[in-house]
Structure 1
Amino acid sequence: MHAPVQKFIVRLPDDLHSQVKSIAKEQNRSMNHEIVNRLEKSLVDDESRDLSEKIVALLLQKVESLEQQLECLQPKNQEADL
């Protein structure tokens, strides 16, 4: 069973319309299906990018914390060598 759909009119510049029409034809899809498919992918990409940015921020915080811990340990190691 299909999810409920909403009709939405969108105005495309002629060149973009031609491009979507050509790609849809190559993929044996309707223009509507091609547009919906690409829009869904872009939203997933946005979510993935947001998640990736959060993971990178957490990793950078962890690296900074580990670097601080190393700095605290280094003077103790240097004194032990003397």
Structure 2
Amino acid sequence: MFLRYCEAALKQTQYKQLEDKSWFAEIEGFEGVWGNGDTVEECRTDLLEVLEEWILLKLRDGDILPIVDGVELKIIEEVEV
């Protein structure tokens, strides 16, 4: 489920080539998640690493994550019976 969520989020990535010819990428709705690299591939790798860490922090803190293309990621607490 984690991988599906990341893949869905990455499909919404917006890339820009900067004046210095490096690449910048961000995902709308994922505040503070952005990547940078000398190539698009490096930029995407950096973005994915930041996205994964952002998701883990949000889940740890109990924050609600955006639903992306119908994919929802959340922690469900089990109740012992």
Greater RCO between the two (CA within 8 Å, min separation 6)? 2
- TM norm structure 2: 0.36
Greater strand content: 2
TM-score (norm 1): 0.35
Q: Of the two, which has the highest radius of gyration?
A: 1
Q: Between Structure 1 and Structure 2, which shows a larger proportion of helix residues?
A: 1
